[in-house]
């Protein structure tokens, strides 16, 4: 029997190639064939433009992707971790988890106006959501238009706003610009900006996680509203709830507005650290005065502090305004520590008017301690150049405690008076109802008021070491210390000297009610 030749005939090159594709793709007729992998040799970025196509390779400006979601998907699964946005994208933003290495979403730094990168969130669209262990950095791009925040940072995720990143014109009940969930981390650096966002609390940022602002990062011109029943209204710039917040390297919270905490509201389980020339400045407080009722709001122009604040290394709270605590209002659960050359300066505690025409406020131009609030000042820290009607530099409640040590000082503050209403003008340096300790080389000096140029004392003043109350001026009584009923001085009273007043230049003791 003749043998049957089972050898396959030789195939031409084209036939071999076709067969190879068939083998890679599987059952060609039944399943179709996926596109060949994109060669990423030399590729440094994916590109996205509104008129692109998601079926493109996305590796050139000429053939970009259409959606950011597609670009993030591609970057998450490749070695190319930069996405360049060309112009304005107004498609839905992605929800991202598990990116692996950090993905950079950027515009072109030198882009012409029409090509400047903007993520325009569609009406009622979701914020840019980062979760899982994702790491995202934004640069040279604006995120705007969100009605559910601009960015939401979920548990485990880290979002960085870098050079040229802007979050603006967004809103939400909590966290108008950015909402950071527990376990999430937001980093702002390199002149990143969160501005002109609105919320009921946390106009710029609401954080239950970690917030780090550094290297000229800025939160500015954000604001909060208030419900008709007087709820919310906290943290015009930032609201921190059970959170850790750090400002360093010239980072600033500026020109924000709220009802409690114009710049930042720190709740009882939150901690704020300021260092390396960080600042909270030029923020303001509003209030409501309902007919027949007491006013609502008006406290903590720069900071409303129910948690802890540590100021170090030339950090500053300055130029803020409120009715209570022009610079900082320290609540019953709050503690303020000022070290090194940190300063609270140039703040104002002004007055408001109730619906019946009576005045309120003017308490503590620099710092006001409410309830059992605490203040510790050391190093060369100072309260200086502040103004109020009751306590230009400091005002304290009966159960509060304030300690100045080292070379800390309360200096060059003033207590003014509303002459028409005969309201205020007491305690240029401070109105003290609690316990006030001066030790080491601490000073209360150069302050002015109508009554009690240095200290208007209802509580207890303790003098230790070489601490001094000196160089203060009252136009009427009590240049250094004005002792009211219940007030007392413990220690060497000769440390109160060199002050000026019409009566009781150094110490004036009130003998009538």
pLDDT tens for 445-472 read 999 999 999 999 999 999 999 999 999 9
Same structural domain, 435 and 504:
yes
Structural domain tally of the chain?
2
Final residue of a structural domain among 258, 288, 318: 288
Same structural domain, 237 and 379:
no
Same structural domain, 435 and 306:
yes
- pLDDT of res. 265: 98
Same structural domain, 250 and 322:
no
Other CB atoms within 10 A of residue 1 CB: 3
**349 occurs within a structural domain:** yes
* H or E segment and range at residue 15: helix 13-25
**24 occurs within a structural domain:** no
For residue 495, how many C-alpha atoms fall within 13 Å in the half-sphere facing its CB? 21
- pLDDT of res. 511: 83
Interatomic CA distance for residues 348 and 413, integer angstroms: 10
Same structural domain, 408 and 389:
yes
Final residue of a structural domain among 288, 319, 337: 288
**Contact yes or no for 349/361 (Cβ under 8 A):** yes
Same structural domain, 437 and 460:
yes
Whichever domain contains 133, its CATH number is 2.160.20
Same structural domain, 304 and 163:
no
Work out whether strand 103-106 and strand 135-139 pair parallel, antiparallel, or are unpaired: parallel
Same structural domain, 358 and 439:
yes
pLDDT in tens for each of the 513 residues of the chain? 332 222 223 333 333 333 233 333 333 333 334 456 788 999 999 999 999 999 999 999 999 999 999 999 999 989 999 999 999 999 888 889 877 899 999 999 999 988 999 999 998 888 999 999 999 999 999 999 999 999 999 999 999 999 999 999 999 999 999 999 999 999 999 999 999 999 999 999 999 999 999 999 999 999 999 877 778 899 999 999 999 999 999 999 999 999 999 999 999 999 999 999 999 999 999 988 777 778 888 999 999 999 999 999 999 999 999 999 999 999 999 999 999 999 999 999 999 888 888 999 999 999 999 999 999 999 999 999 999 999 999 999 999 999 999 999 999 999 999 988 889 999 999 999 999 999 999 999 999 999 999 999 999 999 999 999 999 999 999 999 999 999 999 999 999 999 999 999 999 999 876
Which of 505, 503, 497, 447 is closest to 479 using CA atoms? 505
- pLDDT of res. 220: 98
CA distances from 388 to 337, 414, 423 (A): 21, 7, 11
Which of 373, 351, 379 is closest to 303 using CA atoms? 373
**35 occurs within a structural domain:** no
**The dihedral of CA 235, 389, 396, 439: what is its sign?**
positive
* Tokens 């303790």 belong to residue: 462
* 407 three-class SS: coil
Which of 212, 216, 132 is closest to 178 using CA atoms? 212
Interatomic CA distance for residues 475 and 488, integer angstroms: 22
Other CB atoms within 10 A of residue 509 CB: 15
- pLDDT of res. 118: 97
The CA R_g of the chain, rounded to the nearest whole Å, is 31
Final residue of a structural domain among 267, 288, 309: 288
**15 occurs within a structural domain:** no
CA distances from 187 to 137, 192, 194, 453 (A): 9, 9, 12, 44
Same structural domain, 64 and 160:
yes
Same structural domain, 260 and 396:
no
Same structural domain, 270 and 307:
no
Work out whether strand 423-424 and strand 448-451 pair parallel, antiparallel, or are unpaired: unpaired
**28 occurs within a structural domain:** no
Same structural domain, 414 and 381:
yes
- Domain span at 58: 45-288
- pLDDT of res. 355: 85
Interatomic CA distance for residues 207 and 217, integer angstroms: 16
pTM of the model: 0.91
**8 occurs within a structural domain:** no
Q: Would you state the structure tokens that stand for residue 183, as one six-digit string?
A: 């376990």
- pLDDT of res. 199: 97
Interatomic CA distance for residues 295 and 293, integer angstroms: 7
**20 occurs within a structural domain:** no
**486 occurs within a structural domain:** yes
Interatomic CA distance for residues 68 and 119, integer angstroms: 9
């Amino acid at each position: 029997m003749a043998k049957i030749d089972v050898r396959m005939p030789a195939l031409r090159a084209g036939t071999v190639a076709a067969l190879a594709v068939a083998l890679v793709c599987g059952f060609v007729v039944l399943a179709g064939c996926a596109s060949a992998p994109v060669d990423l040799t030399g590729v440094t970025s994916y590109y996205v433009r509104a008129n692109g196509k998601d079926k493109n390779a996305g590796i050139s400006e000429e053939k970009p992707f259409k959606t950011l979601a597609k670009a993030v998907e591609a970057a998450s699964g490749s070695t190319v971790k930069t996405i360049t946005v060309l112009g304005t994208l107004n498609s839905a933003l992605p929800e991202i988890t598990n990116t692996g290495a950090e993905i950079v979403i950027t515009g072109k730094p030198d882009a012409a106006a029409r090509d400047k990168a903007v993520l325009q969130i569609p009406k009622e669209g979701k914020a840019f959501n980062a979760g899982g262990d994702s790491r995202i950095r934004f640069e040279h791009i604006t995120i705007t238009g969100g009605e559910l925040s601009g960015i939401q940072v979920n548990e485990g995720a880290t979002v960085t706003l870098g050079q040229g990143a802007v979050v603006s014109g967004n809103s939400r009940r909590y966290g108008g610009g950015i909402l950071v969930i527990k376990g999430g981390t937001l980093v702002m650096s390199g002149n990143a900006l969160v501005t002109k966002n609105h919320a009921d609390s946390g106009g710029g940022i609401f954080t239950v996680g970690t917030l780090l602002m550094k290297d000229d990062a800025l939160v500015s011109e954000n604001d909060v509203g208030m419900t008709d029943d007087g709820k919310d209204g906290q943290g015009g710039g930032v609201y921190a709830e059970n959170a850790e917040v750090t400002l360093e390297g010239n980072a600033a919270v500026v020109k924000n507005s709220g009802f409690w905490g114009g710049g930042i509201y720190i709740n009882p389980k939150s901690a704020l650290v300021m260092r390396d020339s960080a600042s909270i400045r030029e923020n303001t407080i509003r209030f409501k005065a309902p007919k027949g009722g007491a006013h609502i709001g008006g406290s903590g122009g720069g900071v409303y502090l129910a948690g802890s604040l540590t100021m170090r290394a030339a950090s500053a709270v300055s130029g803020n305004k409120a009715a209570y605590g022009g610079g900082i209002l320290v609540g019953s659960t709050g503690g303020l520590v000022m070290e090194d050359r940190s300063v609270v300066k140039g703040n104002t505690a002004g007055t408001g008017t109730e619906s019946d025409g009576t005045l309120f406020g003017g308490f503590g131009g620099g710092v006001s301690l409410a309830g059992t609030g605490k203040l510790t000042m050391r190093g060369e820290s100072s309260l200086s150049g502040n103004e109020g009607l009751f306590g230009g530099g400091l005002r304290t409640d009966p159960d509060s405690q304030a300690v100045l040590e080292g070379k800390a000082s309360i200096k060059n503050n003033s207590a003014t008076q509303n002459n028409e209403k005969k309201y205020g003008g007491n305690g240029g340096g401070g109105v003290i109802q609690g316990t006030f300790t001066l030790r080491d080389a601490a000073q209360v000096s150069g302050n002015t008021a109508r009554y009690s140029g240095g200290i208007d004392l209802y509580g207890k003043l303790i003098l230790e070491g070489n601490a001094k109350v000196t160089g203060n001026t009252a136009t009427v009584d009590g240049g250094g210390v004005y002792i009211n009923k219940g007030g007392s001085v413990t220690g060497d009273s000769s440390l109160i000297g060199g002050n000026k007043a019409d009566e009781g230049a150094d110490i004036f003791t009130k003998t009538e009610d």
